[in-house]
Every structure is written in structure tokens, then in C-alpha cells.
């Protein structure tokens, strides 16, 4: 039976069914979407329809050369990719239950800390699932910013887990698989369990003493960003989740600790607005002095379903000529229904618009920050720029050496680089595509030949490369030697033999090689003559 054709057919059918079952063991129901991207890491988040371990395969140039894993047998996964290079593009794909799931994307890491150029988007009050939201998302994707910050109300109406999927990920999925979002909480997220579904689905920084993702900060090139929980600051939340005092104390320390060229804060409730609800003055009195003392340049807010930009403000009034002030913007037209202005436009309000959905596109280029409010059709309804003195870029110097630089295979080599300034990132690229990081790395070259190693130093937009060549010679084979005869019992160790000249006694005795041969020849000739003579004498 086992060897019969029928048995082979049955086994083949069962095997095909098992393979098909394995291939459909899991399906991605949410995502993938990017979170918490830094110069050297990124989080790829997604949800499966079944609980099982998951992986993310990733690499440069379309090749998947590394794998990050989540051993947890669950449906929701946030897998962190580590050891990435600053300002570098990677491709990735999701693996669930041991099977590639056909879900992939691209990500680009944040630039090195001293990069001078940044391109990002600002979005608010968008998570409705509407066609307007989808149009704004397509507009953002077409312009390909490095990342997006949101000013809240990401998930209407109540911030539930189901609405996170229907009103957030489905309309934004294609965009968020390649552009990371750094969100902040709005009042609609707080409706369900104090924003817990939002926290369960997003993977945001938590660099505060409380370890919460409700407020945080991060750097992207020359810009320091601070995301605040304004609902907590208004104390419309449970004290066990967040307290105003803790958040404000952290905000003071965070801004004081940052030496970034530009500082930007973003949160939901507006400190300045002439929209339906107006300015939240109680919040402004508590937060604005800290932002001003901390050197903040721009503040992005939402809540109002419109767009509005102020003049530079200080305290409760416009900043005086020559005085440093903060420009405040409401960017709340990302997809929710727009609300027309009903109040007269105040003097401090420079531009306002409640007729167009859109997002704010921002570029930082050294000492200049420029921004424009862009509609889905590409119309620019406002643009402005800020300038400030920025420390000049320091020249980048790189020296590298291989020690030893030549030798016989296999050759162990120390590759060492010295770089100025010291905070530059150093990487080594080998002919087989491998990349190692650090000022010193060790490498074994096993194959004979000339091995070229490229070393790169990167600091912001500055890049310097050098090439080293390591020469590896083949290992020479030793000539075969005669086996050493075994030692006789009782004899001492044998000494190395060396050639000796034949002595006169040896020559006289015919013991040397040449004398011995001659003597034997003479004796053989005499023997033949004697035998012949004897035969002749015996003949009758």
C-alpha cells in the first residue's frame, strides 16, 4: 500500500493541503504602520487575525538581510528594528506564524543628530474615515515628508479600538506604512477609558519619569519636538493616568536640557484661536511662560476645525519689535467637518481659513524654517518663514587604517578610524555587502587577494568616505619530508642531520659512493676474464 500510486496521490494531496493551511495561518488585519523612528531604530506595528509569534524581515536595497522577532503569541505586535543607519532607507516585510504575509513597506530612519535639513507634516482633527481625510492623506504621501506630527483627535468619535481601525488605519494605512506618525492625544481619544485604546495601538516615546506615552519628546535632526497631553494639563483626566504638575515639571526640564537649534511643541487645545471655542486662556497662563523660557519657536494645536496662524506672541500679547516670540498655529482641518469663523478676526491673527481641508508642510534648512498650508488639490492657502542664527556646520575629518594591511591567509585585521567631530557616525562596508558600525571593528580575511573596505563618516548631511585595501597572500605549502625513523629503545632524541664531506679514510677504503662503484666494476671485469680462461683450459 505504501509504495502504491494511490498512496502517493493521497500523501501529495494532504501535503498540499498542509502547505496551503500554513500559508493562510495568519492574515494582517491592521497595518503595518511605522512608529518611533529614530536614527538607529524603528517600530513596525501590525495586528494579525490569530495569535502567534511574528517577525519583521528588513534590509537595504530590497534585500532582507536581518530579522527582528516578537516571541509573544498575540495578535497585536510592535516589533523594534535595531542597529539601523541614520538617514538610510530600508525595505521590510511582515512574517506571521512563520510565514511571509505579503505585507511590506519602506522606511527611512531619522538623520544623524546634527543634520541641518528636515521635512515633516502637521495634521489635526482628521480621524473620521471621511473622503476628505483620505484626500489629505494622499496629498501628504505625494509630498513624502520624513514624518508627521498630529495635534490630536486622531480617532473619532470616541477613540474606541474598532474606530482606530475604521477611522484611522484604513484611511491612512498606505501612508503610515512608510511615513511614521508622532501623535498627541485629543479630547475624542479620551472618551474611551481615558485614551487607553490609543495607547494600546500606538508605540510612542515614553521619555518621562512616569514612563507614559501621553507626553514625550524626540529629536529629528536640528529640531527638538515636544508632544503634550493638554487634556491632562486641563486636569480633565484621572490623576492615576496623568497629573498637570508632573507634566509641567518634566516640560521645564526637557526644554532646558535641549540644545537643538529649533524647538517645536504640539498638543490639542489651542492657546490662541478665534474659532468656535476660542483660546484656552487657563492653559495659556500655565504653559506659555514655560514654552517661552524654554526657547520654543513654534506651537501647533488643533481642536478647532480650521486653520489659523498668529503673529509672534509673548505672554498675553504680541511680542514687541525685536523681541523673541512664539508663533502659534491651529491645524485642525485634516478631515473632520470644517467650522466657519463667526468672530471678527483679531489683530494678532495673521491668516485664517475654514473652507479647505489640508495639512501643514514644514521644511527646516539650517537657519531657515519655512511652512505652507496645502490643500488636497495642491493649493497653498498660507506660507511663512522664520529665521534664526544657527551655529555653522563644523567640517568633518576622517582617517582610517588597517593593521596589519597585508599578510598570509587567513589574516585577522583591526580596522580603526579617527573622526572629528567625535559625534560623527562611522560605518564599514565590505565587498559582500555587510556593514559594521563603530570606530573600531575586527575582520578576518580568509581568501587570498586584494580586499577593498570602504569606511564612511556621517554627521548630519556631511559624508566623508575613505577606502582601505588589505592584501592577503595564499599560505605557501611546505615541501614533503621523509618520515623520521622511530627511535630505538634507550636512544636519545635524534639530532637534525646535516651533509658531511667524505673523509680520506673513507676514500681509501672505497666506502664513499664514487669509490665503491669503481671497485665493484673492476672486480666484476676480472671475474669474467678468469671464467673464460678456465673454460678454454677444459676443452679437449
Q: What is the pLDDT of residue 518?
A: 38
| Domain map (residue ranges) of the chain | 111-387, 397-473
Alpha helices in 104-195 (DSSP H): 131-143, 161-163, 170-176
**Does domain 111-387 bear CATH number 3.60.21.10?**
yes
Looking at residue 238, what is its pLDDT? Answer: 84
Give CA–CA dist 287/301, Å, rounded: 13
Q: What is the pLDDT of residue 526?
A: 42
Q: What is the pLDDT of residue 393?
A: 66
Please name the residue that has the C-alpha cell 501621553.
Answer: 214
- Res 397: pLDDT: 86
Which residues lie across from 425 on neighbouring strands? 458
Collapse the DSSP code of 224 into the 3-class scheme (helix H, G, I; strand E, B; otherwise coil) and give the result: strand
111-387 with 397-473: one CATH topology? no
For the record, the C-alpha cell of 481 comes out as 619530508
Q: Give 226's strand partners.
A: 217, 265
Q: What does pTM read for this prediction? A: 0.74
pLDDT at 533: 45
| Mean per-residue pLDDT pooled into runs of 10, the chain (540 residues) | 42 39 72 97 97 96 92 92 94 95 94 91 98 98 98 97 96 97 98 96 95 97 97 90 95 96 98 98 98 98 98 96 94 98 97 98 97 98 94 79 91 92 89 92 93 89 86 70 43 37 40 41 45 45
Find the farthest-apart pair of alpha carbons in the chain and give their distance in angstroms, rounded: 164
Residue positions counted in the chain: 540
Identify whether the C-beta of residue 339 lies closer than 8 Å to the C-beta of residue 308: no
- Please answer whether residues 300 and 371 qualify as being in contact, where contact means their C-beta atoms are separated by less than 8 angstroms: no
The Cα–Cα gap between 9 and 438 comes to 57
Which residue reads 504640539 in cell numbers? 266
Q: What span, in angstroms and rounded, lies between the C-alpha atoms of 31 and 57? A: 15
CATH level 3 topology of 397-473: Immunoglobulin-like (2.60.40)
What is the structure's pLDDT at 237? 83
For residue 269, which of 278, 260, 261 has the smallest C-alpha distance?
Answer: 278
Beta bridge partners of 35: 43
Q: What is the pLDDT of residue 536?
A: 44
> What's the rounded Cα separation, in Å, for the pair 236 and 228?
14
**Cα–Cα distance, 319 to 329 (Å, whole number):** 16
Nearest to 147 by CA among 123, 180, 117: 180
Amino acid at each position: 500500500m505504501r509504495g502504491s500510486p494511490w498512496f502517493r496521490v493521497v500523501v501529495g494531496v494532504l501535503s498540499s493541503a498542509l502547505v496551503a493551511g500554513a500559508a493562510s495561518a495568519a492574515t494582517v488585519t491592521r497595518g503595518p504602520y511605522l512608529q518611533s523612528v529614530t536614527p538607529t531604530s524603528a517600530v513596525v506595528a501590525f495586528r494579525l487575525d490569530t495569535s502567534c509569534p511574528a517577525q519583521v524581515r528588513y534590509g537595504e536595497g530590497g534585500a532582507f538581510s536581518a530579522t527582528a522577532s516578537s516571541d509573544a503569541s498575540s495578535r497585536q505586535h510592535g516589533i523594534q528594528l535595531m542597529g539601523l543607519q541614520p538617514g538610510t532607507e530600508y525595505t521590510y516585510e511582515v512574517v506571521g506564524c512563520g510565514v511571509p504575509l505579503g505585507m511590506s513597506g519602506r522606511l527611512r530612519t531619522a538623520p544623524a543628530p546634527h543634520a541641518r535639513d528636515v521635512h515633516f507634516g502637521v495634521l489635526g482633527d482628521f480621524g473620521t474615515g471621511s473622503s476628505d481625510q483620505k484626500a489629505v492623506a494622499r496629498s501628504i504621501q505625494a509630498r513624502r515628508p520624513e514624518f508627521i506630527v498630529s495635534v490630536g483627535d486622531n480617532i473619532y468619535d470616541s477613540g474606541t479600538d474598532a474606530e482606530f481601525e475604521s477611522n484611522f488605519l484604513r484611511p491612512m494605512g498606505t501612508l503610515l506604512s512608510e511615513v511614521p506618525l508622532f501623535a498627541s492625544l485629543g479630547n475624542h481619544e479620551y472618551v474611551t477609558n481615558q485614551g487607553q485604546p490609543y495607547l494600546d495601538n500606538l508605540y510612542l516615546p515614553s521619555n518621562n519619569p512616569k514612563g507614559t506615552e501621553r507626553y514625550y519628546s524626540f529629536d529629528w535632526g536640528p529640531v527638538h519636538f515636544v508632544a503634550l497631553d493638554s487634556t491632562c494639563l486641563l486636569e480633565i483626566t484621572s490623576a492615576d493616568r496623568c497629573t498637570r504638575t508632573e507634566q509641567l515639571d518634566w516640560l521645564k526640564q526637557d526644554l532646558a536640557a535641549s540644545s537643538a537649534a529649533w524647538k517645536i511643541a504640539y498638543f490639542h487645545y489651542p492657546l490662541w484661536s478665534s474659532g468656535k471655542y476660542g483660546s484656552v486662556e487657563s492653559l495659556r497662563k500655565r504653559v506659555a511662560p514655560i514654552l517661552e523660557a524654554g526657547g520654543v519657536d513654534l506651537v501647533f494645536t488643533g481642536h478647532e476645525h480650521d486653520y489659523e496662524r498668529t503673529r509672534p506672541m509673548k505672554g498675553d500679547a504680541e511680542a514687541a519689535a525685536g523681541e523673541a516670540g512664539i508663533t502659534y498655529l491651529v491645524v485642525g482641518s485634516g478631515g473632520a467637518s470644517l467650522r466657519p469663523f463667526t468672530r471678527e478676526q483679531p489683530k494678532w491673527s495673521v491668516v485664517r481659513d475654514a473652507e479647505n481641508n489640508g495639512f501643514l508642510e514644514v521644511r527646516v534648512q539650517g537657519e531657515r524654517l519655512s511652512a505652507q498650508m496645502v490643500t488636497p488639490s495642491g493649493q497653498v492657502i498660507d506660507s511663512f518663514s522664520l529665521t534664526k542664527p544657527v551655529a555653522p556646520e563644523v567640517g568633518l575629518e576622517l582617517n582610517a587604517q588597517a593593521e596589519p594591511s597585508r599578510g598570509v591567509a587567513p589574516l585577522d585585521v583591526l580596522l580603526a578610524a579617527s573622526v572629528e567631530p567625535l559625534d560623527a557616525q562611522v560605518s564599514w562596508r565590505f565587498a559582500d555587502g555587510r556593514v559594521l558600525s563603530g570606530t573600531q571593528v575586527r575582520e578576518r580575511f580568509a581568501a587570498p587577494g586584494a580586499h577593498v573596505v570602504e569606511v564612511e563618516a556621517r554627521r548630519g548631511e556631511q559624508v566623508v568616505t575613505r577606502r582601505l585595501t588589505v592584501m592577503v597572500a595564499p599560505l605557501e605549502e611546505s615541501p614533503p619530508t621523509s618520515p623520521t625513523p622511530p627511535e630505538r629503545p634507550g636512544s636519545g632524541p635524534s639530532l637534525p642531520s646535516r651533509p658531511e664531506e667524505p673523509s680520506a679514510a673513507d676514500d681509501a677504503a672505497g666506502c664513499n659512493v664514487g669509490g665503491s662503484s669503481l671497485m665493484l666494476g673492476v672486480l666484476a671485469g676480472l671475474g669474467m676474464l678468469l671464467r673464460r680462461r678456465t673454460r678454454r683450459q677444459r676443452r679437449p
